[in-house]
Structure 1
């Protein structure tokens, strides 16, 4: 805990297919949005220690100060977490904690079961709600030990056994008592109208946790992966499952908002939405793991959301497919370790990003590779996407990183525009679909030629046509099938990316910035400050190395990189290259997807890049 704030990498997700609770190293819930990932938070102390409220059930020191947990882990193949308190050689108390999964009909539940293992331990229970990020009026009452929250949002009930909840000043309920040897207490937080009176009878809650654990183990037993770092890949799959909004099938980028990419900086974004830039990598990971229901649901959501909102495509969507996501700042919230602004919403929603078109058309190709035509019935929509790419591929855009200064001709964006055109041609040729094949093929060839004419300098790809610096997204070019991984231009690109984007100093040689924000090769992206190493870039590097034939180094990097997730196996967006601590929103779906796809690549089972087949030879740059 730094300045009272937990490390970002110490936030443990508990999810149920609606939203997730992030649990800190002292067992307190640090961030929780009820019923939807993008709903206003009920408690958010990770963003404000004074105004963010509290939700905790766990051991305390006799003084009442929360005791740090001495050990935490997830049950194998499960999202049920176990926490222990104790000394050097003795476990005093043990707790199991989870969100009810699948969620109950009335809404949501968080469950706790706490038992004494050796001796007695002081225990506290506290609910200090701050609904609506602290802006919503509420009424909290305590009757017969049950705390009930009424506000404009769904009702909340909190019950514990073994101690008596009482009204406290400042809109909170809590209590403290001693858990004696052999005793077991329970807690339950219930959210939603129509729920019966909330009870926390230990045997009932313990049985519910057993059922949740069994449901998760049954789900994870169907995952298919035999390759390096198997436990890390399967844990990433469970994390990814927790980030899927089950009612729609949308995959949320992360469970939090405004956890900073630089402590004290302004690079704090709301990631509780779905980005199209993640689409084909997400779908590929789901299919590879044989998560067919999740893959089909996500594919259907992609079709419904993007067709419903029309063209041009939005960069991101709400979990229900809505597109109105205005960005604002919570000016009264102090931010994680003073990092402001704290944002809700995301203005990147309206940018032009050409890579989105390639991502989405590639999703249809991935479905076909796996023999699933769930998206082909939406071909009229996909044809419009290919037509759009044919009409607009020559335009500058904001790029995969959503720069906020001015559009440019980013090489990665052009390559993904080519992907949309190339996949569209292949789908027409393979399945007899209607499409403007001559026009699309001509545009694809011109786009590819232009990339080699204007996006290659000194024998390697560059960030943009007018920018010779490097960008980690260039590592994706062989992964999407734009160029063979062992082509000299690509191997030189890998070499140059590593030379320019490896932090100095760094705790790990595989860490990479997504682009440089300082030094002689720095770029301007319209924002102030710097950021950490972008974790998924390391997993792209692993795939690029494998495709270049450097499988030994790729395997070595993979083994050491997955260890940076720590005991809980959870990754945020970035890593501080000098300390190894995590930065940015968490858990980050994109990072875990990158880990899964890198593992599949090393296991030799990845289908990403197999549609199309091996690309044509790189064209020679034009002269004269």
Structure 2
């Protein structure tokens, strides 16, 4: 804990396909949005220790001070977490914790089962809700051993066994008692109106936890992966599954908002939505792992959401596929370790990002590689996307990193515009689809030639036509099939990326900045401050090295990089290269997708960049 805040890398996700609870190293729930990832938070102490509320069931000192957890881990193949309190050789208490999965029909549940192992230990239960990010009045009552929060939305109930909950003040409930060896207590937080009042009978809660654990193990045992760092890849797949909003199939970028990329800085974004820039890498990972229902549902969501909102494509969408995500700041919330503003919504929604068109056409190609025509049935919509790319590929855009100064001719964006045109031509030729092949081929050739004419300096690709600095997104060019991985321009690009973007000092030789904010030639991004190294860039580097033929170094970097996730195997967006601590929103789907795809590449089973089969 630093300044009373948990490290970002110590936040453990518990998800159920609707949203996720982030649990800190002391067993407190640090962030939780009920029923939807993008809903207003019920508790959010990770963003404000005073105003963010509290939800905890766990061991304390007799004085009531929190007793640190000595060990935490996930059950193998599961999203059920185990926590222990005790010393080096003696365990005082052990707790299992999870969100009920699949979620109950009435809404959501967080479950706790706490067992005394040796001696005795004081235990507290506390609910101090702050609904609506603290903007909604709290109407909390305690009766019959449970606390109930009245709400215009779904009611919230909290029940525990083994101790009595009492009114602590007008807006919180709690209790404290002594747990002895052999005792088993339990807790349940219920969101929504169930068939009856919320109860916490130990046998009932334990059975629900066992059923959740079994459901996760049944799901994960069907994952298809035999390659390096298998445990890390499987854990990443479980994390990715927890970030899928089950009612629609959308993959949420992260479970949190406004965890900073620089402590005390302004680079704090709301990531509780779905970005198109992640689409093809996500779909490839799901299909390769044989998560066919999830891949099919996500592909359907991509079709429905993007067709429903029309053109031009939005950069991001809500998990239900709707748009209109205005960005605002929560002025009263002090932020993680003083990092403000705390944002809700995301103003990048309406930017022009040409890479989105290539991502979606690549998704259609990926579906075809895996024999799923779910997206081809929507070809009229995808033809419009290719036409749009043909009409607009030559325009500047805001790029994959959503710069907030001015649009530019980013090389990665141009390469993805080419991808849209290239895949469109391939699909028309392979399946006899309707399309303007002559115009698309001409546009693709012109776009590709312009990239080599204006986006190459000193024998390597550059960030943008007017910016000769390097950008980590250039490492994706061989992954998407724009250029062979061992082409001299690409191998020199890898060298230049590493030379310019490797931090100094760094805890790991594979860490990379996404671009330099302090370089003499960099045009920046319109924001103040700096940021950490971008973790997915390290996994792109691993893929790029493998495609260049340098598999030995790629494997070495992969094995050591996954260890930076720690015992819980969870990655945020970034890593402080000097300390190894994590930065940014967490868990970050894009990072875990990068890890999975890098593992697949090293296992030589990745189909990313392949062309669809003809019929």
TM-score by length of 2: 0.99
Task: Give the deviation of 1:602 after TM superposition.
Answer: 0.1
Number of residue equivalences: 615
1:76-117 CA-to-partner distances (Å, cap 9, x unmatched) read 000000000001110000000000000000000000000000
CA distance in 1, matches of 2:269, 2:452: 34
Deviation at 1:291, TM superposition (A): 0.1
| In structure 1, C-alpha distance between the alignment counterparts of 2:541 and 2:21, rounded to whole Å | 31
Alpha-carbon distance, 1:522 to partner: 3.9
* 1:405-484 equivalent positions in 2, closer than 5 A: 405-484=405-484
Pairwise CA RMSD: 3.1
Report if the CA contact (8 A) 1:98-1:209 is conserved.
yes
| TM superposition shift of 1:580 | 0.1
Instruction: Give secondary structure in 2 for the equivalent of 1:151.
Output: coil
**For 1:35 and 1:52, how far apart are their aligned partners in 2?**
18
- SS of 1:138's equivalent? coil
CA distance in 1, matches of 2:74, 2:49: 26
- Please state how far the C-alpha of 1:138 moved relative to its aligned partner: 2.5
Q: Shift in Å at residue 368 of structure 1?
A: 0.3
- Map Cα deviations across residues 38-78 of structure 1 (whole Å, 9 max, x no partner): 00000000000000000000000111011111000000000
- Compute the displacement of 1:577 (Å): 0.2
Aligned-partner Cα distance in 1 for 2:443–2:614:
20
* Contact 1:106-1:193 within 8 A present in 2 as well: yes
Aligned residue in 2 for 1:128: 128
How far off is 1:553 after superposition?
0.2
Task: Decide whether the 8 Å contact of 2:276 with 2:360 is kept in 1.
Answer: yes
CA-CA distance at 1:622 after TM superposition: 34
Question: Do the aligned residues in 2 keep the contact of 1:52 with 1:134 (CA within 8 Å)?
Answer: yes
Which whole-Å CA distance do the structure 1 matches of 2:58 and 2:519 have between them? 47
C-alpha distance in structure 1 between counterparts of 2:364 and 2:189, whole Å: 41
> Unaligned stretches of 5+ in structure 1?
611-619
How many Å apart are 1:195 and its aligned residue? 4.2
* Alpha-carbon offset, residue 194 of structure 1: 4.0
2:467, 2:522 within 8 Å by CA — same for their partners in 1?
A: no
Q: Is the CA contact 2:236–2:596 (under 8 Å) kept in the aligned structure 1?
A: yes
CA deviations 1:388-430 (Å, max 9, x no partner) are: 0000000000000000000000000000000000000000000
- Separation (CA, whole Å) in 2 of partners of 1:501 and 1:424: 34
Q: Is the 8 A contact 1:136 1:152 kept in 2?
A: no
Distance 2:613 2:364 in 1: 33
Residue 523 of structure 1 and its aligned partner are, at CA, apart by: 3.5
> For the residues of structure 2 that align with 1:55 and 1:154, how far apart are their CA atoms?
18
**Residues of 2 paired with 1:71 and 1:508: CA distance?**
25
Q: In the aligned structure 2, how far is the partner of 1:33 from the partner of 1:56?
A: 15
Tell me the alpha carbon deviations over residues 465-485 of structure 1, each in whole angstroms, 9 at most, x when there is no partner. Answer: 011000000000000000000
Shift of 1:196: 1.6
Cα contact 2:368–2:612 (8 A) shared by 1: no
Distance 1:146 1:170 in 2: 15
Shift of 1:609: 1.2
- Describe the shift of the 1:72–1:622 C-alpha distance in structure 2 as closer, same or farther (beyond 3 A): closer
Q: C-alpha displacement at 1:621, in angstroms?
A: 29
Aligned pairs (5 A) from 1:83-162: 83-162=83-162
Mapped to 2, the partners of 1:23 and 1:251 lie a distance apart of: 21
User: By how many angstroms is 1:181 displaced?
Assistant: 1.4
CA distance in 1 between counterparts of 2:324 and 2:235 reads: 33
SS in 2 for 1:96: strand
Kept in 2: contact 1:452–1:621 (CA 8 A): no
d(CA) in 1 for partners of 2:561 and 2:387? 40
Which aligned segments of 4 or more residues in structure 1 are displaced greater than 6 angstroms?
A: 620-624
Q: CA deviation at 1:519?
A: 3.8
Q: Post-superposition shift, 1:451?
A: 0.1
Other-structure match for 2:511:
511
Is 1:601 the counterpart of 2:592 in the alignment? no
Distance 2:537 2:248 in 1: 29
Gaps of 5+ in 2: none
Cα offsets for 1:140-189 (capped at 9, x unmatched):
00002110001222100000000000001140000000001110000000
Q: Secondary structure at the match of 1:402?
A: coil
> CA offset at residue 585 of structure 1?
0.1
Q: Deviation string for 1:348-371 (max 9, x for gaps)? A: 000000000000010000000001
Distance of aligned partners of 1:109 and 1:438 in 2 relative to their CA distance in 1, 3 Å threshold: same
DSSP 3-state at the match of 1:621? coil
1:287 equivalent in alignment to 2:287: yes
Alpha carbons 1:515, 1:523 under 8 Å: kept = no
Question: 2: CA distance between counterparts of 1:29 and 1:497?
Answer: 39
The CA distance in 2 between the partners of 1:584 and 1:249, in whole Å, is 24
Contact preservation (8 Å) 1:453, 1:622: no
Q: Distance in 1 between matches of 2:525 and 2:437?
A: 37
Give, in whole Å, the separation in 1 of the partners of 2:613 and 2:294: 45
Please give the TM-score of this superposition, normalised by the length of structure 1: 0.97
Residues in 2 aligned to 1:195 and 1:85: alpha-carbon distance in whole angstroms: 35
Q: In structure 2, do the counterparts of structure 1 residues 499 and 151 end up closer, same or farther at CA, with 3 Å as the change threshold?
A: same
Shift of 1:539: 0.1
Q: In 1, Cα distance between the equivalents of 2:31 and 2:566?
A: 20
Query: Is residue 393–residue 417 contact of structure 2 (8 Å, CA) maintained in 1?
Result: yes
Does residue 212 of the first structure (1) align with residue 220 of the second (2)? no
1:112-143 deviation line (CA, Å, top 9, x unaligned): 00000001110000000000000011210000
Residues 1:208 and 1:622: Cα distance change in structure 2 (over 3 Å): closer
| Residues 31 and 41, structure 2, Cα contact 8 Å, conserved in 1 | yes
Deviations 1:480-513 (A, max 9, x none): 0000000000000000000000000101110000
